[in-house]
Structure formats: C-alpha cells, structure tokens
Amino acid sequence: MVRYRVRGGNALRGTAFIQGAKNAVLPMIGAALLAAKGRTVLRNVPIIEDVRRAVELAEAIGAYVELHESERTLVIDASRLSSPVLPAEIARRFRGSVLFTPALLHRLGEAIVEGVGGCNLGSRNLDFHYLGYKRLGAIVDEGETVIHVKASGLTGATLYLDTPSHTGTENLIMAASLAKGTTVIENAALEPEVLDVIDILTKMGARISGGGTGFITVEGVDELHAVEHTVMPDRLDAGVFAMAAAITGGELSLVGTGLDLGVVRYKLEQMGVEFSRQGAVLHVRCEGPLRPINIITDTYPGFATDLQSPMMTVAALADGTSYIHERIFDGRFALAGELNKMGANVEVKGSRAVVRGRTPLTGTQVTAHDLRSGIALVLAALAAEGETVIESGYLIDRGHAHLAARMRALGADITREISER
C-alpha cells in the first residue's frame, strides 16, 4: 500500500522538470511491438507505474524489454512475440493493455484479453475498439471475463468514432497500419499525443495522413521497422505543476521543449495566474487572490477532463463560486467528497459541480479514487493547514514520476510511504 503524507503551507518555488507524456508513451510501446525485427528505442520515458505494467505486459507476450530508469529510456525488441494472452494479473491494473492488441493480431493472428483495468471512471468502456477491429475483419468473442479477438488478416475500411477518443484513435491507426488497403478514421482525436504516436509510426514506415484534422487516412504497408523516438512532454504533468504554483502562491519555471498548456493556461490566467515564456521554459507565478472560474470539459482542444479534478481543487481556494460541467467521464466527481472532508464546499448535481470558495482547507486522511483525483488531493494538501494523508497513492504513481522528490525540490513537505496494509 502506498500513501502520500503532506504538510501544507509552503509556497513552491524553483524549476520543475516535466516528464514525458504518459498518454503518448503507452501507445508507443504498443507500436514498437508491430516491428518484427530490430530494437525500438524510446527516450524521455516517464518512470511511472503504468510504464512498468506495460513493460511487464510486453515481456509476458514474449518481447525483450530494457527499462533504463536513470536515462529514462526504453529499449524494445519484439522480434520473438510468443503468446497472444494479455494476462489478467497485469491487464486488470492497466487499461492501456488494449493498445497491445493490434500487434498481437498482426503478429500472432489473435489477442486474448483476460482483464482490462486502470482508473474507475464510471461508464467509459472499450466497445468502440473492438467494433473497429470487427470493421477491419477481425472476429471478436466477448466472454464474461475474457475477450478473444482473431484475425487471419485485417482489411482497410471506413471507421467512425462516436467520440474522438485518443486511445481509440491510436489503437485503430496501429491496426490499420499493417492492414491491406486503405482505412479512413472519421471523428478522430486531435490531441498532440495522437500526433506524436503518428510521428513514430510514420518513422517506422506507416503511411498516415490527416493527423490533427479529425479525418485520418491510413494506407496499409507490409511491414514496420524499429526506430528511435523521443516522447513529447506531458501536458497534464505540466498543468499540475502550474496549479501547484497557483494554489501555494508560488513561482515555478516549467522545463519542457515546446510545452503548450492550451485552454488550461487561459483558464488559470482568468483566475489570476501569470504565465510568461522564455524559449522552452514556461514561467508560472501567482501572488494575488484567485478568482472563480467556469469550466466545461471537452475533447481536445477543449478543457481536458484529466485536469478537471486538479482544477476543482484550485477553485476551492478561489474567492467566489466556480461552476464545473463534466461532459466526458461521469466518475470524475468522486473527488468532491474527499475535498469536503478537508473543508471545501463542493456540491455535485449529476454532471455539474458547484464549488463555493474561498474555504480554508485542513489536513486529514483522504483517499484517491483514481489518478487525477489523487493528484488533486496532493494539491489540496499543499494548500491545507496541517498534515494530510492520501491513501491509495499507487493511483498517483500511475501517472506522475517521482512526484514526492520533484515537489520536495520545490519546497513542498511531502513524503511517499509504503505500508504493509
């Protein structure tokens, strides 16, 4: 069991080094498995629990993987894939396991998914992935505990995503890259992480056009080869550190090449947070009181649902009433009850939340319900009076590398603890 212990009251100051993007590196590991020979090298890899689970899963199906933590580098040799089974003991803790199915279908002719895990986020599911495989010619057998996908060969088709999921887009692009003929994906996701995945696939020899337009065309090729690629910076990690500066009245320099926070930056600026760019470094500071805000989550380029929970914490410290409408995942508001334990005033009605600030926060014991609520509770603890203990800290480790060490370097009083129970 992992927990975080935080004593609030310190303003964060200094330089924060932003990790590589979780939502880019996981599909890249899946893409590396498409190469039947050679070794793929991924750099700027975040050393997070989801990457560790991805490495375990790749090894379970026969890949040779080296994770060099100090160099933040992954080396993947997928020339000898041997098992189509994605075992439940790993897959149920790692929702990204679905990203391994395209390689298994092309390399071994089948994929057996024994469990699908990750965060508990209400009604979201993976049906559209398997419907896409069917459209490409796969046979999908869904049991109570196992999903078995078989394909003697995939053939290009026109696919439409009901919602522009970045994972669904990446998955279907990978499946289409080695399919015969042309695949068109309509209503595709626009996230920068999707473009980064398209970039590595193109280096590998895939023929993909239309990235960033919502209308992607993939011309199937006979093979993909191993390459070297540097993972883009993590926008969500950067957003969290920007909010840490805001909520503690601090001043941080965020180091990350070409980092763009998009609408999150604009919303924080509306709340009174100041940003300035110096080349590849983004400077964030906040001195005055925070102003309330209205937020509606949406797919990219809208406000990212992954940063809604941390922003709820920031809103609890604003002078006035903020309104949040969650349009993506109906399980995101599990944070509200935990914040209220600390003294916040958050009222949830369906997919909307009303956050009445400013309310002083007091440290207590709280529980992370998913990755994003966990990091939001860390932010709340930084601004709270006294000590906060955050249980289920493993969920935070799924997406943020060496969080306690990075925040301590900025002046936070935070420790990561491991207990027997």
Residue type, 303: F
Q: What angle do CA 284, 389, 10 make, to 5 degrees?
A: 35
336: how many CB neighbours lie within 10 A of its CB? 22
280: how many CB neighbours lie within 10 A of its CB? 12
Residue type, 218: V
277 is in an annotated binding site: no
The tokens 């160099």 sit on which residue?
71
Instruction: Output the CA torsion 132→135→136→142 (10° steps).
Output: 60
125 is in an annotated binding site: no
Residue 137 CA to residue 335 CA, distance in Å, equals 41
301: closest CA among 257, 259, 262, 260? Answer: 262
> 3-state SS of 17-54?
ECCECHHHHHHHHHHHCCCCCCEEEEECCCCCHHHHHH
22 is in an annotated binding site: yes
23 is in an annotated binding site: yes
Residue 312 CA to residue 303 CA, distance in Å, equals 13
Catalytic pick from 119, 176, 188, 353?
A: 119
337: closest CA among 328, 346, 329? Answer: 346
Q: Would you state the structure tokens that stand for residue 216, as one six-digit string? A: 């992607």
Which sign does the torsion angle of CA 332, 417, 55, 61 carry?
Answer: negative
Helix, strand, or coil here: 73? strand
Residue 47 CA to residue 367 CA, distance in Å, equals 23
377: closest CA among 334, 321, 330? Answer: 334
Does 119 participate in catalysis according to the annotation? yes
Binding site as annotated, residues: 22-23, 95, 306, 328
Binding site as annotated, residues for phosphoenolpyruvate: 22-23
Residues annotated as catalytic (active site), given as ranges: 119
Binding site as annotated, residues for UDP-N-acetyl-alpha-D-glucosamine: 95, 306, 328
